[in-house]
Amino acid sequence: MSATEIDYYELLECERTADDKVLKSAYRRLAMRYHPDKNPGDKEAEARFKQISEAYDCLKDPQKRAAYDRYGHAAFQQGMGGGQGGGDFGDIGDIFESIFGSAFGGGGRQQQRRGADLRYDMEVSLDDAFRGKQTDITIEVSQTCEPCHGSGAEPGTGKRGCSMCGGHGKVRAQQGFFVVERTCPTCQGRGEVIEKPCRSCGGEGRVDKPQTLQVEIPPGVDSGTRIRLSGKGEAGPFGSPPGDLYIFLHVKRHRVFERDGTTLITRVPITFTTAALGGTIEIPGIDGEAITLDIPAGIQSGKQLRKRGAGMPVLQGRGRGDLVIEIAVETPTKLTARQKELLRELQGTETGDECPNSKGFFDRIKEAWTDLTD
């Protein structure tokens, strides 16, 4: 394999299940590492920078990525989607076929049609997204017919060449000055017909039945993360290769935490005495471990405290995000007679300097009122 044919996912140091956000983050990190401006005179770094740029340019485009996932580098070489370079075309029919598809030129039987890709939507909890999990799913999907092994022919019988196209898979029709080739309507381009269709599949080579699959959900997944199970999609007709199964994940809302990427956010109420005097509180983390928070004296509602490394794990990477704790100072609604007495004593000692924000606000109100009445 040449340098330009290194696996694109390997170049970006990502798994094939990586979503757009992970790909973009990986590209930025590697681009900064190998950028020519940071490595003056380093030809190897310059070459690697070009390679990762080429890889990201392909994988960020959904259509290019789908083609690459299916065919690899061959998807962008001549004959598979407009690659680079010259090369000889066999004849004018090949040229027409490369530009307009199989309606023009190009003899031979039709290539095997790959089975369809399938989509499965799965809902997971935030706890499962944090830890990762292994689970089973059951789906109804077309699978290769066992009695005929996907051939479509009744066991003990065979196939014969198609008399309509002479086994070529295509028929020609004269239209004015042109001879147009089309897929044979009798054999559907296979060049052969089944003498006796299989009773189990009706001659199609595949049947619908339930299939149980094991799915590995890695830690750090988020809504929109896609997991690909290669070859677990719909079986292709007449024994052709199956498609893939794509599992799209949706993470359910959590009772305590909100999520923003790898950052977790939670709102914690504290008493107004703790807010005034300061103190220490404990809250449970997403991993089940207790997190101790030091509350500074005089903290206000809306103030955010940050606990580094207590958030979600980085998908297919190392480390964890942060936990952001938003403080909400709670005013008591049920007070005993003694508590009210103590608060009135406190109120009697207030000078206004204890709450500078309130004092500043009312000073501005007083100045505005004076300006209006002068």
Burial pattern 140-149, b for ≥16 Cβ within 10 A else e, equals ebbbbbeebe
Contact status, residue 129 vs residue 218, Cβ threshold 8 Å: no
**Residue 113 burial by Cβ neighbours in a 10 Å radius (0-12, 13-18, 19+):** middle
Beta carbons within 10 angstroms of residue 295's beta carbon: 19
Q: Which residues contact 90 (CB under 8 A, 6 or more apart)?
A: none
Contact status, residue 245 vs residue 138, Cβ threshold 8 Å: no
**Residue 264 burial by Cβ neighbours in a 10 Å radius (0-12, 13-18, 19+):** buried
The sign of the torsion formed by the CA atoms of 211, 217, 222, 228 equals negative
Q: Is 58 annotated as a binding residue?
A: no
Transcribe 329-344 into DSSP letters.
Answer: EEPPS---HHHHHHHH
Contact status, residue 269 vs residue 328, Cβ threshold 8 Å: yes
Q: Is 14 annotated as a binding residue?
A: no
Q: Is 201 annotated as a binding residue?
A: yes
Q: Is 184 annotated as a binding residue?
A: yes
Binding residues: 145, 148, 162, 165, 184, 187, 198, 201
Binding residues for Zn(2+): 145, 148, 162, 165, 184, 187, 198, 201
